[in-house]
A and B are shown apart, each in its own frame.
Chain A
Amino acid sequence: MNIEPRSFQLFPDSASNFAGTVDGLYLYMVLISAFFSLLVAFLIIFFAVKYRKRPGAPVPPPINDHSIGAMILEIAWSVIPLGLSLVMFAWGASIMFTESRPPKDALNIYVTGKRWMWKIQHLEGAREINELHVPVNRDVRLTMTSEDVIHDFYVPAFRTKADVLPGRYTTEWFRPTKIGDYHIFCAEYCGTKHSGMIGWVHVMSQEDYNKWLSAGSGEGSMAEEGESLFRQLGCGECHVRDGHGRAPSLRGAYGMIVDLADGSHVRFDEAYIRESILYPQAKIVAGYDRIMPTFHGLISDEGMLKLIEYIKSMGDPNGMTLERSGPNEPANLQKTGPQMSPESEIKAPTTAPRASAGTGKQQ
């Protein structure tokens, strides 16, 4: 049998900002666990030998377990483990807090899970399947959704994972610290080829990454494709940019708190954009009428991500530049959209979303 030497490692590669601290916590917990396991094992074996039954010995008198000493013992073995485990709790919680708050300037990459593949879209337009190219030592934030069932984007070398849910956006971030290739696994059971829904993260130097990006597909950036989608769907007829249209202006709206007609507030984020496109009546902005039709079933999950990226890129009301466009190249909003065929993004209206997913059910 040909087994590589790396078969015997006990830890996965350590290739992100989280790996060191997670391993540290793990070692702390393993040591505590080993101590208590050995303590219990020692006591039981020691007692079993020392107090083994000897023929003719009288029945031992019961121990008074209501004595002060017994109480102290009971309290000690309740409180000491509790104290030690609260350290584990606090340590683990602080890691999770870091993991749940992606840095603001992180490189944003979109991930769509689908049985049984990972579709990755870079803002600059490059797309890949089951591969993710990222630059080393740069914060990377994944915004993820699923086209069908629940998946989970897991990179053991980064010590992080997050579920990828249909109809919702989840995020996961990391800062790769070591150049190399690392496994991507789907960690949430998703059916037949669950174990085939795997891929590779390629962590590259910034230089190689730039080269890789520029050698990309030649398609437009996500925001540019989103803009073209925006126009094809006629969104701009109501969402006029100067704010005097029948619908609110979207410029500079991303990240703001929006006042709603019912007096409540909502943050203008990915989830709100998605909900407003699919279910426009759900949350109406104060001062506007319920006139927007639903686009449910008309836009693919990937098309939705492009629209979101376009709306995010609309920037602040004073500037005209896209926040993120191609590398170092400010793009004009009026620029003609990319030459990408729109059919793949806009679904035929007659196709129900379910129909594409159905696979001869037995029940």
Chain B
Amino acid sequence: MITAPPPVHVKKNYLNEKTGLKSWLLTSDHKRIAILYLIVVTGFFALGGIFAGLIRLELATPAGDLFESNQYNKIFTMHGIIMVFFFLIPSIPAILGNFLIPMMIGAKDLAFPRINLLSWYIYMLGGVFTLYVLFTGGVDTGWTFYTPFSSSYSNGYVVAAGLGIFINGFSAILTGLNFIVTIHRMRAPGLTWFRLPLFVWAHYATSAIQILGTPVIAVTLFLLVLERGLHIGFFDPAYGGDPVLFQHLFWFYSHPAVYIMILPSMGVISEVISTFSSKKPFGYTFIAFSSVAIAVFGFLVWGHHLFVAGQSIYAGLVFSVLSYVVAIPSAIKVFNWAATMYKGQIRMETPMLYAIGFIGLFTVGGLTGVVLASLGMDVHLTDTYFVIAHFHYVMVGGALLGYLSGLHFWWPKMFGKMYSDVWSKVSAVLVFAGFNLTFGPQFLLGYMGMPRRYHVYPPEFQVFNVLSSAGASVLGLGLLLPAVYLTWSLKYGEDAPPNPWGATGLEWQTQSPPISENFEVTPVVTHEAYDYSTVQEVVHIG
């Protein structure tokens, strides 16, 4: 006699409630839109990573033996454009922010669900432009598009690349707008501003920068397109323009953009450190307001990119001192995170490993930024590998590790599955070690005087370049692992309980993965955030 296998009971959730491609492409569920972003952003990250690999491969030897100069220039340009505009800026806000902000504040969705979907389509359209540039011949201006090179001399597809970023900017503006309105208007009963998770505070500050800053880059690139296409003189002295004006406009956005990348990461780290220490973050209000302070002061330091660009020394003085001021809120955060661990109950789960890696790398990135903010020092170091190393410590060491920490932290919530404990810890260690081996030597190269964007370099720089390329292969392996074990977990991972880490946020009080409406009943908040005395014994232990 054959007995039928017992029916598998799958809970109704946002992933299985509707099926079919159309149900995804026309969804207005913030969680599904987050998954759409996850897929595309991961694709762009892989593409940008391949370009990074090619750069390190070429630089393993001093001669330009793998590519021609024009090819190399296009490779580092595409690496920069894709990583900055299509990975770093959207990664945490559009994926984790989209998924979590409504859940963290006890709402059913964002304030404008269909505009949220529109943001994704705009991002896709910008991405199509960028891929068009990539497949038709590329662009060789560097991601900074400095004039008059970009407007009058470059042989690449500057207009298409500029339009791609221009379009993509509207996606960020709309997402920021959506977050701000949602955080103001849709918080659950009892959820006052100072009961909000720090992740939400960080995204609030980020959204403000996106709304205020992104239009400036859009206008700047539009002026560039006008000058290149119609020869209307804004930047090229041959048409009566000012070449340095472009740099002012570009960095007026692009410096705050660094905070668009790093603030959401800081939000993730505040959540993760607190959860895995079972402690309320030390100095909650200091951490919250330091995000706001970074957003405000971040707009006043763009001139520190122009210390050697013929800017007046008095302007340089102001920008230099303000750059020191903007570093202080970041220092406050780092010290508060360390203090949060004091007398906690610390569990070294994968998200915590990534978060500690973040603190280490971000501290180095921030301190080397302080080195560069010093006028006399910057004259020697700007446009060298020291700058490359510094901003990779901030953007990769900071933004990327924050993203990975958050992805591992909320993966069980997003997909209802646990991933491999061992492999994910191996990955965290490899990423941290590989990263330091890749970018640590570049500080030394920079002080030795190796300029950035050099296809061919003098032989005395080779030793550190070889070290750096070796590190990149370790880093690449470390980043490849999550792609494997996270995908694997979707099918084979064990089911995740609602609150596997013993965390306090509202998002952990609903099932994993959540239902389409997020909560069966709209939650009522009666406590401050991070009250671990109310959390039941942790279900999942490493």
Residues of B within 8 A of A256 (CB): none
Separation in Å of the A64 CB from the closest CB of chain B?
10
Q: Does A70 contact B (CB under 8 A)?
A: yes
- For B134-169 the 0/1 string (1 means CB < 8 A from A) is 000100101010101100111111111000000000
Q: Kindly report which residue of chain A lies nearest to residue B352, judged by CB atoms.
A: A48
- For A182-201 the 0/1 string (1 means CB < 8 A from B) is 01011111111111101000
Separation in Å of the A22 CB from the closest CB of chain B?
5
Residues of A within 8 A of B155 (CB): 359-362
Bound: A61/B342 CA distance, A = 11
Q: Which residues in chain A, 55-107, are within 8 Å of chain B measured between CB atoms?
A: 57, 59-63, 65, 70, 73-74, 77-78, 81-82, 85-86, 88-89, 91-97, 99-100
Say yes or no: A63 contacts B360, CB within 8 Å. no
Q: Does B308 contact A (CB under 8 A)?
A: yes
Residues of A within 8 A of B158 (CB): 363
Given contacts A81-B328, A161-B383, are A7 and B345 in contact (CB under 8 A)? no
Say yes or no: A63 contacts B69, CB within 8 Å. no
Which of A146-154, A259-267, A310-318 binds B? A146-154
Q: Does A160 contact B (CB under 8 A)?
A: yes
Residues of A within 8 A of B216 (CB): none
Bound: A86/B325 CA distance, A = 9
Which of A32-40, A286-294, A329-337 binds B? A32-40
Which of A118-126, A130-138, A163-171, A340-348 binds B? A163-171
Say yes or no: A22 contacts B383, CB within 8 Å. no
Question: Quick one: which of B345, B380, B530 contacts A156, CB cutoff 8 A?
Answer: B380
Residues of B within 8 A of A9 (CB): 448, 460
Separation in Å of the A190 CB from the closest CB of chain B?
6
Question: Quick one: which of B236, B331, B345, B374 contacts A53, CB cutoff 8 A?
Answer: B345
Q: Does B280 contact A (CB under 8 A)?
A: yes
Bound: A63/B282 CA distance, A = 7
Q: Kindly report which residue of chain A lies nearest to residue B158, judged by CB atoms.
A: A363
Given contacts A88-B370, A193-B69, A362-B155, are A3 and B463 in contact (CB under 8 A)? yes
Separation in Å of the B539 CB from the closest CB of chain A?
14
- Across chains A and B, the number of contacting residue pairs, with CB separation under 8 Å, is 307
Does more than half of chain A's interface fall in helix, strand or loop, or is it mixed? mixed
Bound: A41/B157 CA distance, A = 45
Q: Kindly report which residue of chain B lies nearest to residue A81, judged by CB atoms.
A: B331
Say yes or no: A25 contacts B153, CB within 8 Å. no
Residues of A within 8 A of B317 (CB): 93
Q: Does A52 contact B (CB under 8 A)?
A: yes
Say yes or no: A26 contacts B447, CB within 8 Å. yes
Q: Does A10 contact B (CB under 8 A)?
A: yes
Q: Does B532 contact A (CB under 8 A)?
A: yes
Say yes or no: B338 contacts A44, CB within 8 Å. yes
Q: Does A117 contact B (CB under 8 A)?
A: no
Question: Quick one: which of B229, B310, B313, B328 contacts A165, CB cutoff 8 A?
Answer: B310
Bound: A196/B360 CA distance, A = 37
Say yes or no: A88 contacts B374, CB within 8 Å. yes
**Most B-side CB within 10 Å, residue of A4, A73, A195:** A195
**Most A-side CB within 10 Å, residue of B157, B283, B451, B533:** B451
Bound: A168/B282 CA distance, A = 52
Q: Which residues in chain B, 11-28, are within 8 Å of chain A measured between CB atoms?
A: none
Given contacts A78-B332, A100-B313, are A190 and B149 in contact (CB under 8 A)? yes
Which of B180-188, B361-369, B411-419, B517-525 binds A? B361-369
Say yes or no: A74 contacts B140, CB within 8 Å. no
Given contacts A62-B279, A89-B324, A160-B379, are A36 and B243 in contact (CB under 8 A)? no
Q: Kindly report which residue of chain B lies nearest to residue A86, judged by CB atoms.
A: B324
Given contacts A148-B153, A163-B310, are A154 and B449 in contact (CB under 8 A)? yes
Q: Could you name 10 residue pairs across A and B whose Cβ atoms are closer than 8 Å?
A: A51-B277, A51-B346, A60-B278, A63-B339, A150-B243, A187-B382, A195-B454, A195-B457, A359-B155, A363-B229
Besides the contacts A95-B377, A99-B376, what 10 more A-B pairs have beta carbons closer than 8 Å? A40-B360, A44-B359, A74-B286, A100-B313, A148-B148, A159-B379, A163-B308, A185-B449, A354-B152, A362-B155
Nearest 3 A-B pairs (CB), nearest first?
Answer: A156-B449, A95-B376, A167-B237
